[in-house]
Structure 1
Amino acid sequence: MLILFGTLALLLIIGMPVALSLAGASLVFLLLESPMPAVVVVHRMINGVDSFPLLAVPFFILAGSLMNHSGITDRIFAFAKALVGWMRGGLGHVNVGASVLFAGMSGAAIADAGGLGTVEIKAMREGGYDPDFAVGITAASSTIGPLIPPSLPLIVYGVVSSTSIGQLFAAGLLPGLLMAVALMIMVAWYAKVRGYGRDAGFAWKVLWTTFHRAFLSLLTPVIIVGGILAGLFTPTEAAIAACAYALFLGGAIYQTLDLRSIRAISMDTIETTAIVMMIVAAASIFSWILTSNQVTEMVADAILSHTQNVFLVLLLINLVLLVVGLFMEPVAAITILTPVLLPVVTALGVDPVHFGIMMILNLMLGLLTPPVGMVLYVLARVADIKFESAVRATAPFLIPLVIVLLLITYVPAVSMWLPELLYR
């Protein structure tokens, strides 16, 4: 294991991409410590991505890109502004509300930050808000996306843990809304301290107009989640339905998509999908080595031999995930750590669905922390500020997110109430 993790650390330190680091470390381990041929690496990587549910990943990525390029983000932002812009610190609340609405379409924090973030930060700067507040709330609200269905990380976790993706989608809805409430409380506090006012008066006419313009866009999460819960289609088929609906809106209704833009969107989707799938494939062989060498059993025995107190074990796992999230991309962390940690928590009676929500939210915090912090890199580019400034701006908003994480961890009903109502 020293060879495996030592090689991984060395490759990451010298700047090797995560996928190549994981695959390279696995290959070195097999060459030095295992009688199996090196071709096993290729076979296990292929098996890692040979999964029907994982087909949802490229389709949801495509659906999110189509939504971003169809002008849907502008319609959602306008509706959110009419809905909550009348509150003190209005555009901060709009930022959170728009992220909740967009979360039901994209399922990825990076898509939220790169798509909505451009609109939100520009509007907040023009509205006289401090740049650090604009960047901080935009970064924090983007983490809502991976909790509210559809969610790309939840799909990966469901595949790795053999857990119902439908139940995971249902379990993520209330925690996602709880994150939104916590961030809006933080916005209200900032508004009071910094003297931010209201950005718009409440008007039923404006609310109705913006709702009417955004209505067809807002139907997207209804189609996705409603179709899954009603049993009309699987999450993979729901992703295809989302793409078809996005193409219909952008091409036929809004007429904002043409063949050139669709080609560019398709190429972006291929690139993003390739990156995600390479990480999943490489993490699969890494995870297989850990499992086949009984590292998962050793970790479980080591933890449970010291304590079987659920409170302490979950606290320890949260701390481990927070540290891992600082250095590793969430999809890779999910694929590697789920087989290691899931047996520990299930032995203590923790539901895999509950653990999945806890794990995803925890790893999303890593998108807001250096040195990996992909959301921070995206927003630093969008806002044209230094990466260090984005880190400082986002740090205070980690407080409400950590509070929500602890609440989800120790109050299982927050995530389990809806799946138990719908599925059990």
Structure 2
Amino acid sequence: MSPVVFLLTLFLSVPVAIVLVVTAIWYIWESGNTVLFDSFAQKMFSGLENYGLLAIPLFMLTGELMNEGGMTKRLINTARIFVGGFRGGLAYINLLANMFMAAIIGSATAQIAVMSRAMVPAMQAEGYDKGFAAATTAAGGLLAPVIPPSMMFVIFGVLAQVPIGEMFIAGILPGLLLAGSFALVITVIGWRVEFPRGAWMTAPEAGRTLLQSLPAMLIPFAIIGGILFGIATPTESAAIASLIAFLVGWLIYRDLRPSQLGQMFIRTAVNASMIIFMISAASVFGWVIIYEEVPQKMAALITAVTSDPFMFLLIVNVALLCVGMVVDGIAAIILITPILLPIATGSYDISPYQFGVVMCLNLALGLLTPPVGIGLYIASSMSGTTPGTILKSLWPFLLAVACVLVLLSYFAGLSTALI
């Protein structure tokens, strides 16, 4: 009966955290093992006793401070130095700026919202098709869940009990591969469509722009460099990045005022609390998974179909794509990781890092695919373009993501080589 309760509440659009808690309560009552109610609250709290979870609100706060501190526009100008002179230069600027932002914000939806406001009007003013401009910006948002720091990687690392720093490092090569595939898509489209010709900055202009952006570039270097060189944990790197973002926005760029901090703290607390509550609810939902032996039953079913790890990952990719179309990516990770990860590592000897990268990128794809596609609707709302118009220009980017997922599924070294 508990699976019925789970599916019914999920399809009734009940918040996922409530779905998990209600299902767990129903299961305990139905099984007669009511002694578990005595430790229900303790189990929920124990799910949050993980130091790595502090990185979630801190990375969110860093993104808020960057948006308010004027760093976004300076990073976009920096991207113009390197690719602005190519034909279709603004499309490449959009992509490169998204890479910079992905190394700071860590949230695809936040990145799509910020970059849509900044880039779509600029591209449209230079003669780009509005749908293509919005599609390029939305696709660039998919870099956020892969290029470190990634909110999805933090949650997966906590659930999978793997070091979050190593999970971040596992995303570097896949993130660069995904960005390269998007650049190739823009190039191929540029052969068919006559993109506006770009203009290179003069040496003095480039020097001034680079000098202005150096303080903002301290943030991704503080996050990734601190983790790579073992100077700081991901949580400590997030705290340092928040401090740098505040000081740079307030003292150097002077676009940020201390009086704005209160509202930013409130927004960060509200957004982070939703994710934290889902993780807490997943702890008690784990009772249902454990007592029903869901991973073992699924492992027996899948291993009867194939014993090849690559084929297993292809099956998982198709399943995750369907799940990502209707369930938010973070919620899906919390739901699915405890079920599929033991199968991947135990029955197929797949690295948890490879599985985590594939899973996070696949579920992020659901941000841009109907019927839910929240990232698609954010891009539509921010750019004033219909979702259908964006989708017409978006499908080559989605095809590129599918190709990258196949490569990541086949070549484990793309995820594990740097660890």
Kindly indicate whether the alpha-carbon contact (under 8 Å) linking 1:85 and 1:200 is maintained by their aligned counterparts in 2: yes
User: Is 1:48 aligned to 2:38, yes or no?
Assistant: no
Once residues 239 and 288 of structure 1 are traced to their aligned partners in structure 2, the CA distance between those partners, rounded to angstroms, is 32
SS at match of 1:143: helix
Give, as a single letter, the amino acid of the residue that structure 1 aligns with 2:60: I
Kindly indicate whether the alpha-carbon contact (under 8 Å) linking 2:185 and 2:396 is maintained by their aligned counterparts in 1: no
Once residues 55 and 316 of structure 2 are traced to their aligned partners in structure 1, the CA distance between those partners, rounded to angstroms, is 28
1:355-370 map, 5 Å: 355-370=355-370
Give, as a single letter, the amino acid of the residue that structure 2 aligns with 1:406: V
Once residues 7 and 282 of structure 1 are traced to their aligned partners in structure 2, the CA distance between those partners, rounded to angstroms, is 15
Aligned to 1:422: none
Once residues 39 and 109 of structure 1 are traced to their aligned partners in structure 2, the CA distance between those partners, rounded to angstroms, is 39
Kindly indicate whether the alpha-carbon contact (under 8 Å) linking 2:130 and 2:385 is maintained by their aligned counterparts in 1: no
Give, as a single letter, the amino acid of the residue that structure 2 aligns with 1:26: A
Moved more, 279-288 or 352-361: 279-288
Give, as a single letter, the amino acid of the residue that structure 2 aligns with 1:255: R
Once residues 292 and 229 of structure 1 are traced to their aligned partners in structure 2, the CA distance between those partners, rounded to angstroms, is 39
Identity score, percent: 33
SS at match of 2:310: helix
Could you state the TM-score of these two structures normalised by the residue count of structure 1? Answer: 0.93
Could you state the TM-score of these two structures normalised by the residue count of structure 2? Answer: 0.95
Moved more, 123-132 or 194-203: 194-203
1:32-71 map, 5 Å: 32-36=30-34, 37-38=36-37, 40-71=39-70
Give, as a single letter, the amino acid of the residue that structure 1 aligns with 2:401: L
Once residues 152 and 217 of structure 1 are traced to their aligned partners in structure 2, the CA distance between those partners, rounded to angstroms, is 20
- Across the aligned residues of Structure 1 and Structure 2, the Cα RMSD in angstroms comes to 1.8
Give, as a single letter, the amino acid of the residue that structure 2 aligns with 1:152: M
Shift of 1:244: 0.8
Aligned to 1:144: 143
Shift of 1:97: 0.2
Once residues 383 and 17 of structure 1 are traced to their aligned partners in structure 2, the CA distance between those partners, rounded to angstroms, is 28
- The size of the alignment, in residue pairs, is 417
Give per-residue Cα distances to partners, 1:369-409, cap 9 Å, x unaligned.
12222211211210123344444443332011111111111
Aligned to 2:377: 377
Aligned to 1:313: 312
CA separation of 1:389/1:230 partners in 2, compared to 1, >3 Å: closer, same or farther? same
Kindly indicate whether the alpha-carbon contact (under 8 Å) linking 1:26 and 1:41 is maintained by their aligned counterparts in 2: no
Kindly indicate whether the alpha-carbon contact (under 8 Å) linking 1:113 and 1:138 is maintained by their aligned counterparts in 2: yes
Aligned to 2:323: 324
SS at match of 1:150: coil
1:97-136 map, 5 Å: 97-136=96-135
Moved more, 266-275 or 21-30: 21-30
Once residues 68 and 200 of structure 1 are traced to their aligned partners in structure 2, the CA distance between those partners, rounded to angstroms, is 27
Unmatched segments (≥5 aa) in structure 2: none
Kindly indicate whether the alpha-carbon contact (under 8 Å) linking 1:287 and 1:336 is maintained by their aligned counterparts in 2: no
Moved more, 7-16 or 85-94: 7-16
Shift of 1:159: 0.7
Aligned to 1:181: 180
Kindly indicate whether the alpha-carbon contact (under 8 Å) linking 1:82 and 1:203 is maintained by their aligned counterparts in 2: no
Kindly indicate whether the alpha-carbon contact (under 8 Å) linking 1:95 and 1:138 is maintained by their aligned counterparts in 2: yes
Aligned to 1:15: 13
1:85-104 map, 5 Å: 85-104=84-103
Shift of 1:313: 1.0
Moved more, 70-79 or 127-136: 127-136
SS at match of 1:418: coil
Once residues 324 and 40 of structure 2 are traced to their aligned partners in structure 1, the CA distance between those partners, rounded to angstroms, is 25
Give per-residue Cα distances to partners, 1:349-388, cap 9 Å, x unaligned.
2111111111111111111112222211211210123344
Give per-residue Cα distances to partners, 1:67-124, cap 9 Å, x unaligned.
1111100001111122112122211111110011111111111121111221011211
Once residues 414 and 280 of structure 1 are traced to their aligned partners in structure 2, the CA distance between those partners, rounded to angstroms, is 28
Shift of 1:39: 5.7
Aligned to 1:160: 159
Once residues 363 and 221 of structure 2 are traced to their aligned partners in structure 1, the CA distance between those partners, rounded to angstroms, is 27
